[in-house]
Amino acid sequence: MSTTISYAELVGLLEEIFLRHGTDKVAASILAENCAMCERDGAHSHGIFRIRGYVDSLSTGWVDGRAIPEVEDIAPSFCRVDASNGFAQVALAQARDLAVSKCRQTGVSVLAIRNSHHLSALWPDVEPLAREGLIAISTVNSFACTVPFDGKSPVFGTNPFAFAAPLEGGDPIVFDLATSAMANGDVQIAARKGHALPPDSGVDKNGKPTNDPQAVLDGGALLTFGGYKGSSISMMVELLGAALTGGHFSFEFDWSGHEGAQTPHTGQLIILIDPSRAAGESFDLRAHTLIAAMQAAGVSRLPGQRRAEIRAQTLQNGIPITAEDLASLRTLAIA
């Protein structure tokens, strides 16, 4: 049985859950809005599905929900944040104004977050920056669940990267994709629903190809998308998200003593570019030229457009949610 909940109501309910399970008000507000945004926009693998993972990560002491990030102003275009074993989104919020200011002053800035936990999609981190007129790129590594091309065991995480660019008079261009064949959350959802995975998505614990999501989760691993090409990009994400930030590689942390913990303890890199510094015609005009060419070639849906369409629907009609999921959230808010 399904019902609906408004975006504001969902944010409020999730905030109660985070507060109940050990975060301070700042973290609760940031994480609740982030998670609700994902559910609102149809990104279900990073919406309320993730709440149990957040709660278990907090209750086992794996992540510090009251951590105070330490912002470090390193150079005219470079700043760092030690998230202090807290959530990456909280660290980003703490350093955001500094990173934006540096970008406005110099044309580009880099924000390197370390000692952080990220369990959400990346597009909520970059889309708001594009709405302020900046190009934003972000990478974050994860936990070792993906086999490098020509490898035999997992080394990489799902290792997503996201890109957002402003468009005058419309929604930004936004995409967010894992460098694994699919997101780990989608594998978990497929297992829960009894659905098979697409071909070439993963291997079982013996390294044999499988489309059984449970086999991937039970000692198996994902493959990278596009063979060696995706593997190379995933390696880049490890280098940017961990080696450059000072965070852990996806294979370097051990959460075995924190049963149920799901928030990878790694790092995140965000690069900001001010498109007003570009040469020639304005970036916006050139972007519209490219979009027109794509549409003339038959493209009917741009990156991020589906999410925007779902957002418009759910803001008007409410966010669909099963009665079971809603009851579970309400229980977590008081238990």
Residue 46 known to be catalytic:
yes
Cα–Cα separations (whole angstroms), residue 56 to 50, 164, 242, 263, 317: 10, 31, 24, 9, 32
Helix (H, G, I), strand (E, B) or coil at 135: strand
Calculate the CA 43 to chain-centre distance.
10
* Annotated catalytic residue 138: no
Q: Say if CB 27 and CB 34 are below 8 A apart.
A: no
Among 10, 21, 86, CA closest to 48: 10
Contact (CB, 8 A) for 161 and 122: yes
From residue 248, alpha-carbon distances to 59, 142, 244, 266, 271 in Å are 22, 9, 10, 5, 19
Torsion region of 298: left, alpha or beta (phi above 0 gives left; psi -120 to 50 gives alpha):
left
Catalytic residue among 41, 82, 171, 186: 186
State the catalytic residue, choosing from 29, 45, 120, 180.
45
321 — phi, psi (to 5°)?
A: -155, 140
Catalytic position from the list 46, 117, 248, 265: 46
Q: What are phi and psi of 327, to 5 degrees?
A: -65, -40
Q: Classify 279 as helix, strand or coil.
A: coil
> What is the SS3 assignment for 94-114?
HHHHHHHHHHHHHCEEEEEEE
Per the structure block, which two tokens stand in for 63? Answer: 């992540």
Contact 267, 241 (CB under 8 A): yes
Establish whether 186 is a catalytic residue.
yes
Rounded Cα gap, residues 143 and 333, in angstroms = 28
The 10 Å Cβ neighbour count of residue 221 is 22
Angle of helix 51-59 relative to helix 7-20, nearest 10 degrees, comes to 20
Beta-carbon count within 10 A of 220 CB: 23
Name the residues annotated as catalytic: 45-46, 186
